[in-house]
Chains A and B, each alone.
Chain A
Amino acid sequence: MAWDISRRMFLRGAGLAAVGVGFHPSSLLVRAAQAAEAGSRVLVQVFLRGGCDGLSVCVPFGDSEYYDLRGGIAIGRGELVNLDGHFGLHPALAPLKALYDDGRLALLPAVGNYALSRSHFDAQDFMESGTPGDKSTGTGWLERSIAKVPGDAVTEAVAFSAQLPRSFLGPEPVLVAQALSSFDLRARNWRAEAETLLRAMYDARDDALGHVGQETFAAMNVLLRTPAIMAPPAGGAVYPNAAIGTGLRQAAQIIKAGIGTRAIFVNVPGAFDTHANQLTAHTLEFTRIADALVAFARDLGALMDDVALMVTTEFGRVAFVNGSAGTDHGSAHCMILMGGRVRGGRVHGSWPGLARSQLYQERDVAVTTDFRDVFAEMARAQLGVDGSSLFPGYTPGPGPGIVA
C-alpha cells in the first residue's frame, strides 16, 4: 500500500523528499496529476461529539409523521426556516439560509451507517476510522487521505482539538493545536538554549515520543515564521466564543496564511447528547454552529471557493421524543456541507420517511446514504485522492454528488 510509505520518512530525510518518492515512480505520477487537479483546495471536517439530532437540524416538517413523533419538542411550522416545502432549518440555524440560497450550503439528512452502533465511543471510532464494525483499524480516514497527498509540511494536516482525533490517527504528521497564538516555548531569558537542548533530546529518539517532540518543534518553527497566521478575521466576521468558533477562526487563519494546509479537523464537544430538554440545548448549540459557519464564510471570502466543509456527528437520535423532552441514541444523522464547490441550495440524498415501517428498528431515522460515500467524494474533490481504496473492505458508491 503506497500510503504506508510515510511522509514521515520524507520529513525526517529533510530535503530527500524527491529521492524518497522515487521508490514509487508510478504512484508519484498519479499523485502529481491528482494534486495538480486538486490544487490548493482544503477539506474541513467539523465533528460534533455527542450525537446531534438530525431531525432538529433539518426538520422534515412535510413528513406527516414528524409532529406526532416529536410531540412537545417538534419545531413548529411557524418557527422553522422553510427550505423546499418539505424540510426546514431549525430557527437557530436561520443565519445559514443566506448561504443556502446563495448555493454554497447543502444538507444531507439520513446519512450514516447501521454498523456505527448506538454507543458514542464506538460510533465515533467507526466513523473516524472509516471502518464501521472493525475496531482494529490502526489509522483514521483523514490520515489515509492526507497520506496520498504529496508534500512534507507538518502543517498540511491540522486538528483544532485537545487530543489527536481518531480521524488523523496514523503515521502522518499532524499539527494538533488548541491555540495557534501561544504555540511557543515559555523559557523566559533562556528560550534559545531551552529549544536547542530539548531538540537534542527529542531528535535523538526514533519512537513515538521522539516523533511528537520533533513535530512540535517543526510546527513551532512554521507558525513562528508565519506572522500572517495571526491576522484578525476579515470581512467583519465575528466568531462565537465556543469550540466551533475558535476552531473555525483558527482554521480560517491557517488557510488565509497559505502555508499548504489541506485537511483540517475541528473538534466540537458540546451539548449534543440531548437525552433531556433538547430544545434549550439546541438553541444554544445551533446558534453557535450557524454563527461560526457564517463567520467562516465571511472571513474566507473568495478563498471559500477552494474550501469544502462538512459538519458531522456520530449518530442521529431516535425519531420519537423520550420521557424527558429529549431523544435517545439513534441511527441516521444530518450533515451540513458548505463551500464554493458544494452543490448548495438543496437537500441531498433520499428521504426514508418516518412512518413506523420506514424507521430502522421501528425507532430511528433510516440510513439512505453511507457516510463513506460522502467522505470519499470530499477527499476526491478537495484532496485529489481516489476514494476507492480509502476504506478497507468498502468501495464507495458514486456518492450523493454534493461536491463538484
Chain B
Amino acid sequence: MPIDVGPRAAVHLLNRIGYGPRPGDVARILGTGLDRYVQGQLDAPADPELDSRLRGLITLDYPISQVLTLYNADQRSIGVILDELYTAKVIRAVHAQNQLQEVMVDFWFNHFNVYVQDGFARYSTGAYEREAIRPHALGRFRDLLGATAAHPAMLYFLDNYLSRANVTVGGRVVRGLNENYGRELLELHTVGVDAGYTQDHVIDAARCFTGWGIDNLNNSGRFTYRQAVHDTGAKSVFGLNLPAGGGKDDAEKLLDHLASHPKTASFIAKKLAERLVSDDPPPRVVDRAAAAFESTGGDIREVLRAILGSAEFWAEAFGAGKPKTPLEFVASALRAADAQVSNGRAVVAYLQNMGMPLYACVPPTGYSNRGADWINPSSQLYRMNFGLDLAAGAVAGVSADVRGVVRRMGGNSEDPGSVASTISAQIFGNGLSRSTLDAASRVAPGGSVSVAARVAGLCLASPEMQAR
C-alpha cells in the first residue's frame, strides 16, 4: 500500500477505520507499521480487555425469548436492558482494540437499520446486532443480507411478518401483501434506489418473502416460515424469474440474485467509500471497491482492503477532512481525552441532543454517512459543550484525567502552550492550526478549572476536532 508514514497518515487511519486516536496511539501504530495495523484490524483477533469491560453488562447476551420473559415479569426490565445495550455501544467505540470492526458494525447496523423503539424491536434490537450484524460485519455480504432478512427484528420493523399472499375469495381479492420490506430490500439494502427496478419488482420481491415471519411476538420471538400464506405464483424481480410453486426458497434465491448483482456491488462500494473516504468519494475508489466486491463474491474484507489501499483514501489525509457524525465526534473526543467509560447514559443523552440517538434512527434509511449533513448550529453547540464538559470531568459515567494524560505524554500541564502542542501531536498529527493553537494558548493561569482542562476542552471543541 502506498502509505505515507507520518503522524498525519497515522491519525487519518485511526480516524477513518476507527473512532480516532487515543494518546499514544499514533506512535504505537507508526512503530507497528500502518500496513500491519490495517491487517490486524481486518483480522480482528480476540479482545479480552474489552470483554472484561463488558462483563458487568449481564443482559447483553440475552436471547429475545429471555428479554421477553423478563419484560413479561417486570416491564421495567427493558429499561435496564436497553441501557446496557447503549452503554456497550459506547464502551466498544471508545475501548475496543478492533476499532474497524466497531465501525463496520455501526455501518452495517445503520445500513440494515431497525428503530429500537418500534414495538417488538425494543426486545430484539440487541439480539439483532449480536446475531445478524456483528458476526458478518467483516464477512460476506450475502451472509449479512440473509441474516438480516431472517431476523425477527427486521421482520418486525419492516412489517414482513404480517405479509401474506393476496388471495381471491369469491371473485374478490383479499389483500395480504405488505410491500414494506420488499421495497427497502431493493432500495436500501441491495441495488439502490437508482438501480432501475419498477413498482412491479417491489411487489414481486415482497411476494417472495410472504410467509417469512415471527412465531410469537410476546414469548419466543423466533423466526418461522408459514408455507400456507406464501405466494406460490411465478415472480419476476429485476432480472430474476422464479417459476410458480416455490416456497421459502423463493426469498433465498432472490437474496442470492440481489447480493451478486453488479448494482449491489456499486451501491455498497459507494456507501462504504462515503463513510471511509469522503462525502463525495472519487469514482475511481468506488469502482475499485465495486470490482473487489464483484470479484470476491461480496467479501467485505476485500472491499475494505481495496478502499484502504487506494491512493484516494490516503490523499484524504492531507485534505480538509470529513465532518464527523455525532457518534464519531463523541467517541473520538472520549478517546482523545483517554476517558474511561463505565456508564453510557449521559453520553447517550448528548448524542440525542446532537440528533443521533443510538439505535434510534426512525426511518429505515439509517443515519446519513455524509459528514456535511451533521453540521449545523444546534449540533455545533452541543459538540462544543460536550468537549468542554468532558475535559472538565463533567460527563457522568466517564472519568477523564487530562492533566495526567498531558504529563504522561511529556507535556507541562500548567503551561497552556505545552498542553495545546501535546494534544496537537497526540491527537491531530500536529494538525491543529496556528489560530487554534494560539487561542488555546491564551488560556489564563489560575481559575477554578485547571489550565489543562480548559485547554483540552477548547481543543476538543475546536474546528479541527469536528472533522476526521
Contacts and interface: CB of A to CB of B under 8 A. Distances in A.
B180 interface: yes
Interface in B113-149: none
Contact of B376 (A164, A185, A207): A164
Given A119-B193, A204-B435, A323 B373 contact: no
A324 B463 contact: no
B463 A202 contact: yes
B208 interface: no
B448 interface: yes
Given A186-B388, A193-B443, A193-B444, A162 B379 contact: yes
Interface stretch (A20-28, A81-89, A208-216, A296-304): A208-216
A104 interface: no
Contact of A176 (B364, B379, B442): B379
Contact of B176 (A190, A193, A207, A323): A323
A197 interface: yes
A127 B440 CA distance: 44
In this complex, which of A154, A159, A177, A216 has the most chain B Cβ atoms within 10 angstroms of its Cβ? A216
Contact of B159 (A198, A220, A275): A275
B183 A118 contact: yes
A60 interface: no
Contact of B448 (A50, A189, A324): A189
Interface stretch (B70-78, B87-95, B240-248, B454-462): B454-462
Interface string A48-89: 011000000000000000000000000000000000000000
Nearest to B166: A323
Given A197-B439, A328-B180, A220 B384 contact: no
Contacts of B448: 189-190
B380 A322 contact: no
A320 interface: yes
Contacts of A209: 323, 375, 463, 466-467
B173 to A, nearest CB: 9
Interface string B361-392: 01111000000111111111100110011001
A326 interface: yes
A201 B180 contact: no
A175 interface: yes
A309 interface: no
B355 A121 contact: no
A201 B193 CA distance: 41
Nearest to B200: A361
B447 interface: yes
B386 to A, nearest CB: 9
Interface in B328-376: 353-356, 362-365, 372-376
Nearest to B178: A324
B375 A187 contact: no
B445 to A, nearest CB: 12
Nearest to B182: A328
A332 to B, nearest CB: 16
Contact of B380 (A122, A212, A275): A212
Contacts of B166: 323
B377 A175 contact: yes
Contacts of A179: 353
A322 B373 contact: no
Contacts of B433: 204-205
Interface string A326-359: 1011000000000000000000000000000000
Contacts of A154: 377
B435 A205 contact: yes
B84 interface: no
A178 B438 CA distance: 32
A329 B363 CA distance: 13
A94 interface: no
Contact of B461 (A177, A188, A198): A198
A197 B466 contact: no
B384 A198 contact: yes
In this complex, which of A209, A213, A329 has the most chain B Cβ atoms within 10 angstroms of its Cβ? A209
A376 interface: no
Contacts, number: 175
A164 B435 contact: no
B372 A208 contact: yes
Given A197-B440, A322-B179, A323-B177, A122 B193 contact: yes
Interface string B183-199: 10001000001000001
Given A212-B375, A216-B380, A322-B178, A185 B320 contact: no
A273 interface: yes
A147 interface: no
A321 interface: yes
Interface string A25-52: 0000000000000000000000001100
Contacts of A119: 183, 187, 193
B378 A176 contact: yes
Contact of A189 (B373, B435, B440, B449): B449
B163 interface: yes
B55 interface: no
Given A174-B376, A201-B462, A190 B179 contact: no
B379 A326 contact: no
B169 to A, nearest CB: 13
Given A120-B365, A176-B378, A190-B454, A323 B164 contact: yes
Nearest to B373: A163
A322 to B, nearest CB: 5
Nearest to B176: A323
In this complex, which of A186, A194, A200, A323 has the most chain B Cβ atoms within 10 angstroms of its Cβ? A323
In this complex, which of B394, B442, B458 has the most chain A Cβ atoms within 10 angstroms of its Cβ? B458
Contacts of B179: 275, 322, 328-329
A219 interface: yes
B177 A208 contact: no
Contacts of A323: 162-164, 166, 175-178
A286 interface: no
Contacts of A200: 435, 438-439, 442
A121 B223 CA distance: 29
A207 B193 CA distance: 32
B66 interface: no
Contacts of B385: 185-186
Interface of A: 49-50, 117-122, 154, 159, 161-164, 174-179, 183-190, 193-194, 197-198, 200-202, 204-205, 207-210, 212-213, 215-216, 219-220, 269-270, 273, 275-276, 320-324, 326, 328-329, 361
12 contacts: A50-B363, A119-B183, A120-B363, A163-B379, A188-B392, A193-B447, A198-B384, A198-B462, A202-B463, A204-B439, A209-B466, A213-B380
Given A187-B388, A212-B380, 19 more contacts: A122-B193, A161-B378, A176-B379, A186-B389, A188-B394, A194-B454, A197-B442, A200-B439, A201-B436, A201-B439, A202-B463, A205-B435, A208-B375, A212-B376, A270-B362, A275-B158, A276-B162, A324-B178, A326-B178
What 5 pairs between A and B have smallest CB-CB spacing?
A: A162-B355, A204-B435, A323-B176, A324-B162, A176-B376
